[in-house]
Chain A
Amino acid sequence: MPLREVDAAFRAEGFNRITFLLDASTLSDEKQEAVISLVKEVLYELRASVKRTIYFLGNPSPYSPHQFNSHAAQWFQENRQRASLVTPIFEKLAPNDKSDLVVIGSEKIFDLEDWSDTPFLSRLTQVCLDETCLDEPLIPKLVRQPAATELCQELYDPVTRVEITGPGFMPTYWNQNDYQLEIQDENIRLIARNLENPANYSITLRSFILQPNQLQATIIRLSGDELIETLTLFTDSVSNHAEVDRLSPEERNIFRQARQRQEFTCLYCEERHSWDTLRCSQEGILGRSVYPTLHERYTGGFVILDDTGREVQFTLHPGSVFRLDHGKVAIKEGREAPIYRFDAGRECWLKTKEVLHLYQSLEGDAYVIFL
């Protein structure tokens, strides 16, 4: 099976969001009061970090949770003639919406079966306020007559980790620094953990993969529940769109001397450094890049330097993996960047004994370094 290169994205829309689906269509006045009372308490007791949205079954328009206390009775009246249908709502939610869905007050949702093979149902909880509620096999979680505190505990299950991997997976670019590359035996994954802002689990990436339809994200929650989702593939390239910048004339001279393996005079300490010095150790505890312009912009990863003759341009390549060729990458591991090659026979990436050399030549007059 040939190794492919694909551009893909994972969207974290709806992470740590609870979408309440209230059924106003079949409730007696007494039951309606019970639903309103429960929802008011739950909205009050939910952790502030959990976002909320309210819908009424059959109605695609969302209602503001901030106005629930004052408008609930009116909203129930408005939606009394609706029917217990989820299709109008699920069609309104983004296809990738990952919010937790909670149905309250419904006896029977008529069109649930139409959504049985979608991720929506796997995140659905039904809350029953009395014993009359029948067990709906399509709804994975049923909570009977819960107190508000108990329901909040049940619903609070934030995403704690997202892992992206697949057969032959090797990312060569990604736009979210919260994701780190982890290599365990032959298993290569991009992992983000315990992010304060759930939106930061969203990522766009370029990667090698054997089977693009098996490029998947595993979403792991506090409870340990896991959900696997296939990434959305793009036809357009998403690779690094970093701006091209340029070295100062003094830095340009340093670059050209270093490439010739000649000593150069440091712009900080004004001492002579050997060609392979990238950080001046006399500056600060960790030292500073001998290229001050780079030092200001560098956020990790690799830097491509391109000598056009008139100037030296540079492009930052964030991330710990640098694509060298099809099936060949360098991975930054501490102060070294060993080279990995894809082994087509074993269908996995193997670490070679080669390493990325300082100022390793790329195409044309381009060179790569990492600080």
Chain B
Amino acid sequence: MSFSYDRLGFPMMPLPDLSLEVHLLPVTKIQFERFIAEADNDFGSNWYKDVLALNARVSYKHFTANNQERLFITGVLPEEALAFARWLGRAFDLPTREEWRAIYQAFTDIPISANHLQLKSSAAKPAHIILENLLQDFPINDRTLVELTLMREGLVEWASTPTGTWVGLGQPRSTFFPNLLNPLSDEFKPLEADKRLYFFGFRLIRRRKKGRR
């Protein structure tokens, strides 16, 4: 199984049985910064400063196992994540709750192999460095993609429900966000729709037309 890549050079994992590709990791700050650097959106320094106040930035070159959650863009609202998805390209979207859980289960069944550790040389340099650093001190024996991709012990991630509301799914490390969530049965519903939460991040999917592999 080989990765595909978004236009910023970050890896996506194809899951043919689900007819989609999903970002290998939650969207990082460095990816989102490419988006906010563009002039024709409503994001700018003041917006970003507020977001970083919730979960400070760490350089992809210098993060450690203790602060790896700071690599990822968190505190964004679903509409803001969708704006990033539209900017990244057609067919990018936030997953539905059911898609997120199906991806989680699929990753739980896939043991980590050498293929999962190799990005193509033209992938973005930060993507290479992040994956290399994450794999340091990461025992890959008996581990599955659900751990490597940080769907487990990562963030709470935005997903949509059939009624059009937004929920959070995930099981962060308790050092980042104390919780007893089981993402396959529990969901986190923010009390206020416009409140930024430091532990909320997201990853994008790209749906494929049925029948195409």
State the A residues within 8 Å of B (CB): 23, 25-26, 58-59, 78-85, 87-88, 108, 110-111, 113-114, 116-117
For residue B87, CB closer than 8 A to chain A, the reply is no
Given A78-B39, A111-B30, A114-B30, A84 and B61 touching (CB < 8 A)?
no
- Nearest residue (CB) in B for A58 is B37
Q: Are A113 and B61 in contact (CB under 8 A)?
A: yes
- The contact sample of 21 A-B pairs, CB cut-off 8 A, is A25-B45, A25-B46, A26-B46, A26-B49, A58-B37, A59-B37, A79-B39, A80-B44, A81-B43, A82-B44, A83-B44, A83-B45, A84-B45, A85-B37, A87-B37, A110-B33, A110-B57, A111-B33, A111-B57, A114-B59, A116-B59
Tell me which of A25, A87, A117 has the highest count of chain B C-beta atoms within 10 A of its own C-beta.
Answer: A25
For residue B138, CB closer than 8 A to chain A, the reply is no
Q: Using A58-B36, A113-B61 as known contacts, list a sample of 19 further A-B pairs with CB atoms less than 8 Å apart, ordered by residue number in A.
A: A25-B44, A25-B45, A25-B46, A59-B37, A59-B39, A80-B44, A81-B42, A81-B43, A81-B44, A83-B37, A87-B33, A87-B37, A110-B48, A110-B57, A111-B30, A111-B57, A114-B59, A114-B61, A116-B59
Residues on B with beta carbons closer than 8 Å to the beta carbon of A82: 37, 39, 44-45
Residues on B with beta carbons closer than 8 Å to the beta carbon of A88: 34, 37
Residues on B with beta carbons closer than 8 Å to the beta carbon of A23: 45
Q: Are B39 and A81 in contact (CB under 8 A)?
A: yes
* Binary contact readout B18-54 vs A (1 if CB under 8 angstroms, 0 otherwise): 0000000000001001101101111111101100100
- Nearest residue (CB) in B for A61 is B39
For residue B104, CB closer than 8 A to chain A, the reply is no
* Binary contact readout B88-114 vs A (1 if CB under 8 angstroms, 0 otherwise): 000000000000000000000000000
Q: Are B39 and A117 in contact (CB under 8 A)?
A: no
For chain B, residues 56 to 105, give those with C-beta under 8 angstroms from any C-beta of chain A.
Answer: 57-62
Q: Are A85 and B41 in contact (CB under 8 A)?
A: no
Residues on A with beta carbons closer than 8 Å to the beta carbon of B39: 59, 78-79, 81-82
State the B residues within 8 Å of A (CB): 30, 33-34, 36-37, 39-46, 48-49, 52, 57-62, 126
A83 to B43, CA, bound (A): 8
Residues on B with beta carbons closer than 8 Å to the beta carbon of A85: 33, 36-37
Residues on B with beta carbons closer than 8 Å to the beta carbon of A113: 57-59, 61-62
Q: Are A83 and B33 in contact (CB under 8 A)?
A: yes
A114 to B126, CA, bound (A): 9
A107 to B148, CA, bound (A): 36
A148 to B128, CA, bound (A): 44
> In angstroms, how far is the closest chain B Cβ from the Cβ of A56?
9
Tell me which of B33, B46, B52 has the highest count of chain A C-beta atoms within 10 A of its own C-beta.
Answer: B33
Query: What is the count of residue pairs linking A and B with beta-carbon distances less than 8 angstroms?
Result: 66
Residues on B with beta carbons closer than 8 Å to the beta carbon of A117: 61
- Nearest residue (CB) in A for B42 is A81
A87 to B33, CA, bound (A): 9
Interface of B is mostly: loop
> In angstroms, how far is the closest chain A Cβ from the Cβ of B206?
25
> In angstroms, how far is the closest chain A Cβ from the Cβ of B159?
27
A83 to B50, CA, bound (A): 12
Residues on A with beta carbons closer than 8 Å to the beta carbon of B36: 58, 83, 85
- Residue in B48, B60, B61, B62 whose beta carbon sits within 8 Å of that of A83 in the complex: B48
Residues on A with beta carbons closer than 8 Å to the beta carbon of B33: 83, 85, 87, 110-111
- Residue in A25, A78, A110, A114 whose beta carbon sits within 8 Å of that of B52 in the complex: A110
A265 to B178, CA, bound (A): 100
A87 to B58, CA, bound (A): 15
A108 to B57, CA, bound (A): 12
Q: Are B45 and A26 in contact (CB under 8 A)?
A: yes
A184 to B145, CA, bound (A): 61
Q: Are B49 and A108 in contact (CB under 8 A)?
A: yes
A50 to B62, CA, bound (A): 36
Given A110-B48, A110-B52, A114-B30, A81 and B59 touching (CB < 8 A)?
no
> In angstroms, how far is the closest chain A Cβ from the Cβ of B124?
11
A114 to B30, CA, bound (A): 9
> In angstroms, how far is the closest chain B Cβ from the Cβ of A109?
10
A58 to B61, CA, bound (A): 20
Given A83-B33, A87-B33, A114 and B41 touching (CB < 8 A)?
no
Residues on A with beta carbons closer than 8 Å to the beta carbon of B126: 114
> In angstroms, how far is the closest chain A Cβ from the Cβ of B76?
14
A370 to B86, CA, bound (A): 69
When A and B form their complex, which 6 residue pairs have the shortest distance between CB atoms, in order from nearest?
Answer: A25-B45, A113-B59, A58-B37, A81-B44, A26-B45, A84-B45
> In angstroms, how far is the closest chain A Cβ from the Cβ of B203?
21
> In angstroms, how far is the closest chain B Cβ from the Cβ of A134?
13
Residues on B with beta carbons closer than 8 Å to the beta carbon of A81: 39-44
Residues on A with beta carbons closer than 8 Å to the beta carbon of B46: 25-26
- Nearest residue (CB) in A for B62 is A113
Residues on A with beta carbons closer than 8 Å to the beta carbon of B62: 113, 116
A108 to B48, CA, bound (A): 11
Q: Are A114 and B60 in contact (CB under 8 A)?
A: yes
- Nearest residue (CB) in B for A108 is B49
Residues on A with beta carbons closer than 8 Å to the beta carbon of B58: 113
A82 to B33, CA, bound (A): 10
> In angstroms, how far is the closest chain B Cβ from the Cβ of A139?
15
